[in-house]
Amino acid sequence: MRSPNGKHPAPTGRGTVIAAAARVPFSRAGSDYRELVAYDLARMALAGVLARADLAGAEVDQVVMGTVVQNVATSNVARDAALAAGVPDGVPAHTVTLACISSNRAIADAVLAIGAGHAEVVLAGGVEMLGDVPIGFKREVRRRFFDSRRYKGPKDWPAFFKGLKLKDLLPQAPAIAEFTTGESMGESADRLAARFGITREEQDAYALRSHQGAAAHRDRLAEEIVPVSVPPKGRVVAADNGVRDDTSLERLAQLPPAFVKPFGTVTAGNASPLTDGAAVVLVMTEERAVAEGRAGLARVRDLLFVAQDPKDELLLGPAYAIPRLLARNGLAWDDIDVVELHEAFAGQVLAVLRALESDAFGREKLGLAGAFVREVDMGKVNPWGGSVSLGHPFGATGARLVATAAHRLNVGGGRFALVAACAAGGQGHALLLERVGP
């Protein structure tokens, strides 16, 4: 079947399922995992899913991991972590990056490889270590470091410092801004909320809902987590540490604007926190998974990626991806039982949902007669919490979304689950799951 824009066919080939999943606890950046690097979290998650699935590393055909802020020492973190997790050295592994949908891209690579007959068993997921970002220097200082390779002794180093000021030698953290626009994602979220009339009170209420949902379903979420022992003292981390059981609308209302001051509506309380974590899913041919008696399966029915204006629609990708994905599968919003929507910011989630309910957006942006859906049933959307409460390790969130969507499908007995997420660069993703079994 062709997609609505006529460019890309829906995936075809062998049936593919999510057969198992595991993630390390998500922790606020620089907290539980401050002595580790991304490689450590990735190998823990990979080893965790192999153990949970009772699968030998030798049975894996490929490993794909997503990440955003790379450690140059492990630039192909998928390969290094796979070897450490017990996957034989004859199994290829590669790392992908697509901002906040990097692990969605990794899962898509796995699905497409299986559909094309290139693999039967793939480990796909992602990792992020935002508590240990690479620190750099100004371009001129970097150039001089490169030239210093030719220095033969101490007498050559005065040339390095000639003309530099002390401030030129100060380290620089990576810019948290869009390269093409120079605008931070938080600033874009503020403008998006204003465009769709999302108030500060609505954003705070949604953030509270996210924390309350995560707190209420802590036992369910624990089923997705593999506890990890953290050096140097071997302390066991078994739960996400970003969930705030004690937060309230009053506390959230006291927080100042984080990006657009003094009148912005995005705060530290209604945005996802910087987070360290890793998550992996086991992607298999449906035939093999069923033959091996694996339970709790979710079939990958279809997936797609979209892109739009990174200035005015940076975070609106799901509002474009969801209608296209459902239309080419002959489904409507009401056919979906489970929705897992990435919560970069509470205002972003609410803006996406409001766009789907908008007659003007439906006509002008989606080519529909009116709104894509008259009223979104919020009971379907992220009842177990989301990125605002659980945290958002950039490269790992997509795999968490897919794992939770499959989990909720099998707990609730629904048929279809929808995963959608936005990403830097004005990109987005949507994926459709179908429960396998009675």
Give catalytic residues, as residue numbers.
100, 422
First to last CA, the chain: 27
DSSP 358-416: -HHHHHHTT--SS-S-SS--GGGB-TT--HHHH-B-TTTHHHHHHHHHHHHHHHHT-SE
Alpha carbon separation from 159 to 44, 138, 142, 154, 164 (Å, rounded) = 46, 17, 14, 10, 10
Q: How far is the CA of 63 from the CAs of 94, 100, 295, 359, in angstroms?
A: 7, 19, 22, 43
| DSSP three-state, residue 321 | helix
Per DSSP, what are the bridge partners of residue 279? 23, 126
CB atoms within 10 A of CB 379: 7
**DSSP category for residue 67:** -
Q: 232 preceded by cis ω (within 30°)?
A: yes
* Dihedral sign for Cα atoms in the order 125, 327, 418, 184: positive
244: number of Cβ within 10 Å: 19
Kindly tell me the burial class for residue 138, based on how many C-beta atoms sit within 10 Å of its own C-beta (0-12, 13-18, 19 or more).
middle
Distances (CA, A) of 55 to 20, 45, 278, 367: 10, 14, 19, 46
Pull the structure tokens for residue 397.
């969130």
Phi then psi dihedrals of residue 146, to 5 deg:
-65, -45
**Residue 139 near residue 168 (C-beta atoms within 8 A):** no
Query: What SS3 string covers 165-207?
Result: CHHHHCCECCCCCCCCCCCCHHHHHHHHHHHCCCCHHHHHHHH
